Amino acid sequence: MKQVTIYDIAKEAKVSVATVSRVLNGTAPVKISTRAKIEALIQKHQFQPNAMARSLLSKETGIIGVILPDLTNPFFPEVFAGAEKEAQESGHTFLLCNTMGDYAKESEYLNIMQEKRVDGILFIGGRINLKECEPDLVQEMVEHAKKIPMVLINGNLRDTELTRVATDEYAGTMLAMRHLIELGHKRIGFIGGESHMTTTSNKLRAFRKSLRDAGLPVREDWILPDSFSMESGKQQMENLLEKKDRPTAVCCVNDFTAIGAIKTAIEHGLKVPDDMSIVGFDDIPLAHHVIPELTTVSQQASELGRTAMKVLRQLINKGKVKKLTSLEPQLAVRQSTAPAMMPSYSESFREISSG
């Protein structure tokens, strides 16, 4: 017979693990009716945690800490919502910390998570996305991970063995680029992303590789990294349109920059996708609410969160986990990409007119 756990009790009582823990440990008041329901279930299942289980139990708070960089970018709330959905079964509750990518705040919140005795930490963005992370910031993470199970989402810290769940961003950009190239585009630019972040360099590596593989030129003056905001997408599309010749397609670092880029292109009288195809990355909910609907690489943000939470739970339960769980991205073809319009003609026309 499978042994009944605190999670089973929580699930059957439709309460969180934290509440069952409160009843078992008497650490805080619980509503009388809820307490009665839980006690009845403990009775029914003859749930008697042995000494070791009890000591484990009294340590468990049922709380997961989530450290993320920017709640105003809808990608992160989506990842979180996935983790939350996954945690419904196990009754975990969450404390979220928003760092604005500030490393000092990350340190602060890591300390708070430890003080507040969370059962595990999901960490996304900030220092784990740096191409070069300072050794003491790395060391701090390693130290915390020794004490609290931790999963890094879409990031990495070099020379550490921290557990990771990540979308294969390189493969995702390859999908987007192959799509553009198959549509006949030969003149492709790249917009957005901070250069010191791995997400940018991963995507740019794939961008360059796919062009070279197809025997197409890599036009460095059409590669315009900046940041991850809509404003950044607008600004860089402005810059791109000021050039004497321009690409017929643009690959953007994320959906936010793609949406900004589309808006500016349309404001300049271009038709998207007829005059210019634009592809994003992330597949935020907004992607199919804008006009034209955005062709983008789906990270399956919700699935990413779910998977990270699953892996974290295994870590908490001292299960065996892979060091890296990789998620395959998918291309969502919508309305912002179309075949290149007479590429040879427009190309030569532009070259003549700009020459």
Smallest gap from residue 304 Cβ to a copy of itself (A): 15
Residues 6+ apart with CB under 8 A from 134: none
Phi, psi of 62 (to 5 degrees): 75, 10
**Smaller CB distance to a copy of itself: residue 56 or 97?**
97
Residues near a copy of itself (CB under 8 A)? 14-16, 18-19, 22, 27-31, 63, 71-72, 74, 77-78, 80-81, 84, 93-98, 100, 104-105, 107-109, 111-112, 114-116, 230, 259-260, 263, 266, 285-286, 289-291
**Smaller CB distance to a copy of itself: residue 17 or 166?**
17
Smallest gap from residue 146 Cβ to a copy of itself (A): 13
**Smaller CB distance to a copy of itself: residue 10 or 175?**
10
Smallest gap from residue 309 Cβ to a copy of itself (A): 14
Buried b / exposed e along 264-281 (16+ C-beta atoms within 10 A): bbbeeebebbebbbbbbb
Which residues are paired to 167 by β-bridges? 327
**Smaller CB distance to a copy of itself: residue 153 or 188?**
153
Residue located via tokens 């779910």? 306
AA letter at 75: F
Smallest gap from residue 106 Cβ to a copy of itself (A): 11
**Smaller CB distance to a copy of itself: residue 78 or 86?**
78
Smallest gap from residue 141 Cβ to a copy of itself (A): 14
How far apart are alpha carbons 296 and 331 in whole angstroms?
A: 6
Going by the DSSP 8-state scheme, the letter that residue 130 receives in this structure is: B
Following DSSP, what letter does each residue of 198-214 receive, concatenated? HHHHHHHHHHHHHHHHT
Residue located via tokens 């390859």? 174
* Coil, strand or helix at 219: coil
Going by the DSSP 8-state scheme, the letter that residue 220 receives in this structure is: G
